[in-house]
Chains A and B, each alone.
Chain A
Amino acid sequence: MKTYGFIFLLGLFSLAGAFDIKVPVYYDTCDNGLRIIIVPDTNVAVVSCRLYYFVGSMYEGPGTSGLSHMFEHMMFKGTKRLGTTSYENEKPIMKQIDSLANLVKYELLGGKAESDSSVVALRTELFSLLEKQRKYIKKDEIWELYQKNNGTHLNAWTSDDMTAYIVTLPRNKVDLFYWIESDRMKNPVLREFYSEREVVTEERRMRYENRPLQKYWERLNALFYVAHPYRIPTIGWMSDIRAYTREKMEKHVKQFYTPDNALIVLTGNVDTTKARKQIEKYFGSIPRALTPKEEVVTREPESFGVTRFTVHDNAKPRLDIMFHTPGYPNDDLYKLDIVEGIFSGRSGRLYRRLVDKEGLCTDIGASNYFRLHDGYFHIWAGLKSDTDPRVVEKIIIEEIEKIMSQPPEPKEIKRIINSIRMSFVNSLNSLEGLSDRLAWFERLNSWKDMPDYPQKVSSLKPEEIPDAAKKYLDVNKMTVGTLLPIKQPLDNNRKSKNSTTKQQEL
């Protein structure tokens, strides 16, 4: 256990003009591996308190997809001490519930449908046991405690590589965060598991089944990533959600929700010395995982051929073009950020050409998405109803080829760097936003990459950009998605009702 941490001055020194921001950042690691970042700010009366676990859908697979997201829900169900009047009395009931859930599982594996009378009867029995257990349950006590103590921004979120439990508290009540989160880390109890599974089922229906764009995007992503578990939707596939059991979840929790896989970020009016001491007091005794986290070893194989995916649905027509990029860190990613900037914005090349000049699109943009393992570069276009996506694709390719053949103009570089500077200053303007950004860089490599990032981009030479574009934006290896309206088929040979086509061009 170190006795003190270090202050780093998180500074952005002039890129094109003169500004110098000094923000003290405290970083330390507890003996059990728990990482801590604290950014004190005495101008506010609140503290953004966030606990991140470095787990998400990339650690899931067939049968377990969405478990991290499901656990995000379960974390609000309480612990051995929260959300219950007697955990001891709950335990035998949960055991009975687990037995019934296993019977349901075997019925379904045996080929019975969820609507089959024997399955329905078992489920009815299971839910009547849940009612029995509810005599001992104090509903949503965690939520209530935070709310009662004036917590705002109270929530949780899950992504492919992180899960976050978040609340912003008045500066005098941060101990509540330590108490609740350390207890959730030590003693989570998966009570009301099967009723919450129904909630997640409804969430998935809402997010994907009844939203054509999301449904399209989920499938396009799963086509883009051939091998890497980034192809798994964070919420999980419906069949996996329906087959979750408490046993499966407990295994997942033991593996990933430990201090050596977690990071606390506090930003706001907090005394760093006191906070460090309190974190040690509450979290210091929580043991590391019995076996270290098994990191994902799968990587995308080298891409070859063009992958195309076309959907006709009730949605605004669009075109998506995606290219594989390396995992973080990699210096080429900064060069691709310049390419992103050349393409993006109203004065970006794509908007000027396809929206203003040709009038084929309603909007267009690009995004260079950093990821721990395999990232992607994404160009998207909102199409007008009568626009042929093939024409837009051809023009986008022309613009990509221009970047490959000529370095960007100085004016473009200045615009991109200013945009990055503005984004940096903006990120310091929100406690919660700053927390997420620091955590995200820490997840990818180190929080220190956040202040270094503008400098890394601004130090690039324009001549370096064409080669990066040639290396990664290979149009013979791209993935192309088109979402077209039902009444506007691509051509006469295509079916017009909810049809999907999938083809590989090798």
Chain B
Amino acid sequence: MKNMKFYPFLIMLMALCGFSKSKTTAIVNHPSQLKFKKLDWKVPEGKPYRIELKNGSVLYIAQDSLLPMVQIAGYVNYGSLLDPEGKEGTSSMLATLMRSGGTKKYPSDTLNELIDLMAIKISLTSSLSQLTFNASFLSEYTEEALDIIQQILFYPVFEQKKTDKEKTIFIESIRHRFDEPSPILEAAYRKAMYSGEIVGRLPTEKSVKAVSRKDLISLHKKIFTPSNMIIAIAGMFDRDSMTGRIEKLLTANKDAKPGVNFPSVKLSNIHKCLVVHKPLSQAYVRLGLPLFKRPHPDYYAMSVLNLILGGGGFTSRLGTKIRSDEGLTYSIYSHAESNYTFDGTFFIDFFTGNSSFAKAVDLTLKEIKNIVSNGVTDKEMDHAKSSLTGDLPSMFRSSFDIVSTYAWNEYYGRSENHYKEYEKKINGITKKDLIRVAQKYLNVDNVTFTVVGDTAALLEQKSGNFSLKNFKYKTVSVDSLLLLP
């Protein structure tokens, strides 16, 4: 990727001058008759881009002179799963305030001015099991931008005034996080599938208020250490010089030993059917089933099965039946979670008009039963495999795609050959594998129902064998949702 260039101007001009209306072949009657040349493309290796720095951190680096810019991503081993009980929201506040709370060298206002002046894009985000930072800037500002990035990553001061301000803003967002149905469904689903576990705990006004500046300083010191992060960088620079520059950037806090261990999280669905009342014109529905933590030998078979059942858009069975045939929804999909930290789930998500709620659920359950009993066709399986493996050229387009993908790959402890082996693993799946995993994981008797909608309109409905009343359902208001264990 070092020598990437656009077509040189002269070559292009010659090519165009040679264009004329030459003899063309006839248009075939159907696209399936089109003949395509074999794509000469291989998954790029990650190894040439990987450097282990002296301080223990790993860097993926690519020199790329295509555009006058530099992109960086970093993955830090931490996440909201580790937020202390009663202080939920700590990791999210850490991410926000590292960016906005000023640094040792630059007070917050100066920092904002510098970042805006040079049009540096920088953000930090926190998820359940990962803290991520992303930055991009014009290459002419490389020195200044790296200085700012170093300050933000290693020398944040969490100014008290800014900490108070960001807390107020965070609390405002908490007050309005359930204004729309989708976030309610997500929160309710976590409560239903992981009762009593930290996965279902969300920040509250009280927990955010409990997070102090001191908490943020001590957490930052503990986790932002070179050995606890993997960095990816690509752009217009000299590779050797940049490697030295990054090594220098990562000298701060190098002696700390984070020892981050995520807590164990168990799937525990004591609420078989959880209905959150909100007067809406549609019901928002999620059907969930327990799955597993990766790496797991059944993951690839579940990926293929998922694509056939509901993960493949219009051509999946649920898309065809519930959306296209019946017109019951605008969106229905299934998802097999890829989770490396704790057991994930398989779920089907859709919304439908109140009056068609029971019918849509009933038809969805029938589709699950059908795939469990009868398996899939060769055509469906081949199509799903081809879709999954065919995405790879699109995933590895730029040098930054390569380095960030491999950095992320290493963060989750996967083999450096992961992407090379992927195609082989997917293509090795058989119909027998698919019916086996369908029977193992898609038992409709184990489905947990989570619904957000107008309780009165939904409880009365029956379609086929389905009615909410068949279950020991629990109804809660939006306000009391978070009081559930």
**Interface 1/0 per residue, A173-213 and B, CB below 8 Å:** 10110011000000000001011111111110110011111
List, in ascending order, chain A residues with CB within 8 A of B31's CB.
82, 145, 176, 179-180
Rounded to whole angstroms, the CA-CA distance of A149 and B116 in the bound complex is 43
Chain A 267-294: CB-based contact to B (< 8 A → 1; otherwise 0)? 0000111001100111000000000000
Query: How far is A362 from B137 in the complex, measured between Cα atoms in Å?
Result: 26
Selected from A82, A149, A179, A418, the residue in CB contact (under 8 A) with B27 is A179
- Measured CB to CB, the nearest residue on chain B to A2 is B19
Complex contacts, A196 vs chain B, CB 8 Å: 324, 327
Q: In the complex where A385-B172, A419-B119 touch, is A152 in contact with B391 (Cβ < 8 A)?
A: yes
Given A3-B19, A170-B41, A272-B15; A422-B67 close (CB under 8 Å)? no
Tally of contact residues, B, Cβ under 8 A: 88
Q: Is B96's CB within 8 Å of the partner chain A?
A: no
Are A316 and B172 interface neighbours, CB within 8 A?
A: yes
On whether the beta carbons of B180 and A1 are closer than 8 Å, the reply is no
- Tell me if B325 is interfacial: C-beta within 8 Å of chain A: yes
Q: Give the residue among B118, B165, B320, B390 with the most A Cβ atoms within 10 A.
A: B390
Q: A40-B7, A44-B397 are in contact. List 19 more A-B contacts (CB 8 A).
A: A1-B21, A21-B68, A43-B6, A140-B319, A143-B314, A148-B387, A149-B390, A154-B313, A171-B39, A176-B31, A176-B36, A179-B27, A202-B352, A205-B353, A316-B175, A345-B116, A363-B169, A418-B118, A428-B67
- Nearest residue, chain B, Cβ from A17: B140
User: Would you call B241 an interface residue if the criterion is a C-beta within 8 Å of the partner chain's C-beta atoms?
Assistant: no
Within 8 Å of chain B (Cβ to Cβ): is A135? no
Given contacts A176-B34, A345-B116, contact A421 B138 (CB under 8 A): yes
Which residues does chain B contribute within 8 Å of A46, judged by CB atoms?
Answer: 393-394, 397
**Is the CB–CB distance between B9 and A22 below 8 Å?**
yes
* Residues of B near any A CB (own CB < 8 A): 1, 4-7, 9, 12-13, 15-22, 24, 27-32, 34, 36-39, 41, 66-69, 100, 109, 112-113, 115-119, 121, 136-140, 165, 168-169, 172-173, 175-176, 179-181, 280-282, 312-315, 319-320, 323-331, 351-353, 383, 386-387, 390-391, 393-394, 397-398
Q: A147-B312, A202-B353 are in contact. Are A24 and B67 (CB under 8 A)?
A: no
Residues of A within 8 A of B9 (CB): 7, 9, 22, 24
Most buried by B among A81, A196, A315, A429: A429
The interface residues of chain B lying within 8 Å CB-to-CB of A76 are: 314
A38-49 contact mask (Cβ, 8 Å, vs B): 1 or 0: 001111111000
Interchain CB contact under 8 A, A346 and B325: no
- CB-contact partner of B172 in A210, A213, A362, under 8 A: A362
| B353 surroundings in chain A (CB, below 8 A) | 201-202, 205
- Residues B140 and A18 in contact, CB atoms below 8 Å apart: yes
Q: Which residues of B contact A356 (CB under 8 A)?
A: 109, 165
Closest to B319 in A: A140
> Using an 8 Å CB-CB cutoff, how does the interface string of A129-145 with B read, 1 for contact, 0 for none?
00000100001100111
What does the 1/0 interface line of A378-414 toward B look like (CB < 8 Å)? 0000101100000000000000000000000001001
Question: Is residue A261 within 8 Å, beta carbon to beta carbon, of the partner chain?
Answer: no
Residue from the list A144, A202, A414 in contact with B117, Cβ < 8 A: A414
Q: B154 to chain A: closest CB distance in Å?
A: 21
Chain B residues in 8 Å Cβ range of A315: 176, 179
Q: Which A residues touch B69, using CB under 8 A?
A: 422, 425-426, 429
What is the 8 Å Cβ interface bit string for chain A, positions 1-21, against chain B (1 contact, 0 not)?
A: 101111101000000011101
Q: Are B398 and A429 in contact (CB under 8 A)?
A: yes
The answer to whether A198 and B119 touch across the interface, beta carbons within 8 angstroms, is no
Out of A281, A426, A485, which one reaches B24, CB within 8 Å?
Answer: A281
Distance A348 CA – B1 CA, assembled complex (angstroms) = 38
20 pairs, A vs B, C-beta closer than 8 Å: A4-B17, A18-B140, A46-B394, A81-B30, A148-B386, A170-B390, A172-B39, A175-B34, A179-B31, A196-B324, A201-B327, A202-B330, A210-B281, A277-B22, A281-B24, A315-B176, A345-B116, A347-B109, A362-B173, A425-B69
- Shortest Cβ distance from B326 into A: residue: A195
The CB with the most chain A CB atoms within 10 A, among B18, B38, B172, is that of: B172
By the criterion CB–CB under 8 Å, are A203 and B330 in contact? yes
A150 lies within 8 A of chain B by Cβ: yes
B337 to chain A, nearest CB (A): 21
Give which listed residue, A45, A152, A347, contacts B116 with CB less than 8 A: A347
Q: Which residues of B contact A205 (CB under 8 A)?
A: 281-282, 353
